[in-house]
Structure 1
Amino acid sequence: MSAFTRPAVRYAAVASVAVTGGYLATRSYNSNAFGCTQAHAESAPSDAKAALKKMPWKGFTELKVESVEMVNHNVKKLTFALPDNETISGIAPITSLLTQHTPEGGWIPVMRPYTPISPNDTPGQISFMVKHYPGGKGSTKMHSLVPGDTMKFKPLAELDYKPNEFSHMTFVAGGSGITPIYQLTQAIFRNPEDKTKVALLYANNTEEDILLKKEFDELAEKFPDRFSRIYTVSKTSSEGEGLYHTGYIDKAMLSKVMPNKMSERNVKVLVSGPPAMIESIAGAKGMAGWTQGSLGGILGELGYKKEEVHKF
């Protein structure tokens, strides 16, 4: 997807609030999160890793870059080291980490949230996929980091998910809005007690922009009865012709991934992407992005209720 930004989000408990009268951080979708409350970060590790320690997230915590990998022309995977090899992030899905840095010569900190893509019980490290937006203060800083550099992080709770809360979940994502969707998807399928069915519809400009495709394809192969996915792109190469849907998400495309509500009565739809996409699919968010707003768009036409949809 092309660069796009979220409406401004107010972050509390920041030292600069006293100076500026309230710090407003413009939320860019290379961050892909939507809340501003501190996460409890209490998701329990698996039995096999029960001896590992959960990260004691208190305020902003400085972490050191361990490795940097170029994923495509404008996306990097950044892995940060936790304090030791016995520590796990322990964050619950969906949780992002708010970054904080002060630009050289500046005095007001820049804050942007990014959603980790590594499992919450990965020992010793935590990873992100970050898309670079020209002029983006957060993504430019993240893309400038090299091994040994540091960044400050603070958890932000995004969505309080409980295993088996819904019989079926549909995820509609655009561009780098896929990271919170992936975080929850892998949490569902890594939990043997969670039987939730999941369908994904993921839109991008080109095939190269499809992030985490290998991971989603492996899940579809491993859980064919519980996970399905459709990728759609604005334009495709000759090699990809016939392998992907083309064009914007419309009612026909969305209908292919929506469950039969007669058989799946307890459903939830998560929509994560640029504002124009969200408005088309589920209606615009309210109060300049501060609230969920009324349900509209394609999901409204398909008969979904407001409580069955969450917009990022």
Structure 2
Amino acid sequence: MAAYLRPSLKVAGAAAAGASVAYVGHQYWNTTSFFFSTAHAESLPSDSQAALKKVQWKGFTELKLQSAESVNHNVRRLTFALPDDQSITGLPPITSLLTRHTPEGAWVPVFRPYTPISDNDQAGTVTFMVKKYPNGKGSGKMHSLKPGDTLLFKPLHEFDYKPNQFSAVTLIAGGSGITPLYQLTRAILNNPDDKTKIALVYANNSEEDILLKNEFDELAQKYPGRFTRLYTVSKTTPQNEGLYEKGYVTKELLSKVIPPRSTGGQTKVLVSGPPPMVESVAGAKGGFGWTQGSLGGVLKELGYTKEEVHKF
């Protein structure tokens, strides 16, 4: 995706793919000339004092891993130290940090984007939630890091958002595609001047694969009139039967959450998941993941227009 596009994720033919999600377009992330020419927009935090402490992202910046903890069988929470305790990332939503490393014995560096789950004004550290994939060069590297190890990062701005730009946003995610949408959710709800309403539909393979569930549940309790969420899983157990929707992201499922087209006001739907899921929900991206492509799938059936939908 050009500066504002994130390669989508890979999900089984519909929306529940917690076990097989990874940002798409990894094939073009290896086109190194793209990265060094990519411009990224950065907005400063509202606090002018904090703005002065924002990391000066110039090219790739080396950060040291501070801590790592397992979230489930294939996901780790990784926290990196910023240049000093008073530094903040100062990144606007939605912005990922592009990693760069050269595998041992290789000549060509590997680039992968990861979206922080920590707030942009959090002092001293930046945190990621990273899922490991079989033979994943980026996720494998991230999971191999031990406290004290370093990695190179560079901001990659992916979607422009302005407070109250939309009356409502619907977020549709699969697996680890949740991280950019979590970043946006936090940014909207943390801003008392932003009145945008948010509805989340999050699809996974199983209950264990639902990332950031506690965080989303807490936000739903704290902002009952502004944030709602719906989880759907492919596999249920006797213990969680009835707690979640079951199956893929379908027209029937979205109809329970998505704002009716007749409500008025400007709305936006953001879709972040594996390519099969994105195609099923909103139509395939174009240009090998570089462009938005035509609108299709469930959202087209529900009457949404291309301008109202953004695919990651």
Q: TM-score, normalised by structure 1?
A: 0.90
Once the two structures are superposed, residues 151-178 of structure 1 have per-residue CA deviations (whole angstroms, 9 ceiling, x without a partner) of 0000001101000000000000000000
Identical-residue share of aligned pairs (%) = 64
CA distance, structure 1, for counterparts of residue 147 and residue 39 of structure 2: 27
In the alignment, structure 1 residue 150 sits paired with structure 2 residue 150: yes
SS at match of 1:257: coil
In the TM superposition, 1:102-121 aligns within 5 A as 102-121=102-121
SS at match of 1:50: helix
Residue of structure 1 in register with 2:137 after alignment: 137
In the alignment, structure 1 residue 42 sits paired with structure 2 residue 59: no
Gaps (5+ residues) in structure 1? Answer: 24-35
Q: TM-score, normalised by structure 2?
A: 0.90
Residue of structure 2 in register with 1:3 after alignment: 20
Residue of structure 1 in register with 2:171 after alignment: 171
CA distance, structure 2, for counterparts of residue 37 and residue 311 of structure 1: 19
CA distance, structure 2, for counterparts of residue 46 and residue 247 of structure 1: 43
CA distance, structure 2, for counterparts of residue 217 and residue 88 of structure 1: 26
Residue of structure 2 in register with 1:308 after alignment: 308
**1:44 Cα offset (Å):** 1.2
- When residues 4 and 223 of structure 1 are mapped into structure 2, their CA distance, relative to the original with a 3 A threshold, is closer
Once the two structures are superposed, residues 282-302 of structure 1 have per-residue CA deviations (whole angstroms, 9 ceiling, x without a partner) of 011112211101101000001
Once the two structures are superposed, residues 212-271 of structure 1 have per-residue CA deviations (whole angstroms, 9 ceiling, x without a partner) of 001100111011111100000001121111100011111110111111333242000000
Residue of structure 1 in register with 2:12 after alignment: none
Contact between 1:52 and 1:88, CA under 8 Å: does it hold in 2? no
CA distance, structure 2, for counterparts of residue 107 and residue 10 of structure 1: 16
Residue of structure 2 in register with 1:56 after alignment: 56
CA distance, structure 2, for counterparts of residue 51 and residue 258 of structure 1: 36
- When residues 213 and 10 of structure 1 are mapped into structure 2, their CA distance, relative to the original with a 3 A threshold, is closer
**1:11 Cα offset (Å):** 6.6
Once the two structures are superposed, residues 58-95 of structure 1 have per-residue CA deviations (whole angstroms, 9 ceiling, x without a partner) of 00000000000101110000000001111100000000
Gaps (5+ residues) in structure 2? Answer: 1-17
- When residues 51 and 173 of structure 1 are mapped into structure 2, their CA distance, relative to the original with a 3 A threshold, is closer
Contact between 2:261 and 2:304, CA under 8 Å: does it hold in 1? no
SS at match of 1:88: coil
CA distance, structure 2, for counterparts of residue 11 and residue 74 of structure 1: 24
The amino acid that maps onto 2:28 is: V
Contact between 1:38 and 1:154, CA under 8 Å: does it hold in 2? no
Contact between 2:64 and 2:150, CA under 8 Å: does it hold in 1? yes
SS at match of 1:87: coil
CA distance, structure 1, for counterparts of residue 51 and residue 285 of structure 2: 42
Once the two structures are superposed, residues 30-71 of structure 1 have per-residue CA deviations (whole angstroms, 9 ceiling, x without a partner) of xxxxxx934233331447x63760000000000000000101
- When residues 98 and 262 of structure 1 are mapped into structure 2, their CA distance, relative to the original with a 3 A threshold, is same
CA distance, structure 1, for counterparts of residue 262 and residue 249 of structure 2: 24
Identify, as 1 or 2, the structure richer in strand. Answer: 1
Once the two structures are superposed, residues 16-41 of structure 1 have per-residue CA deviations (whole angstroms, 9 ceiling, x without a partner) of x5xxxx78xxxxxxxxxxxx934233
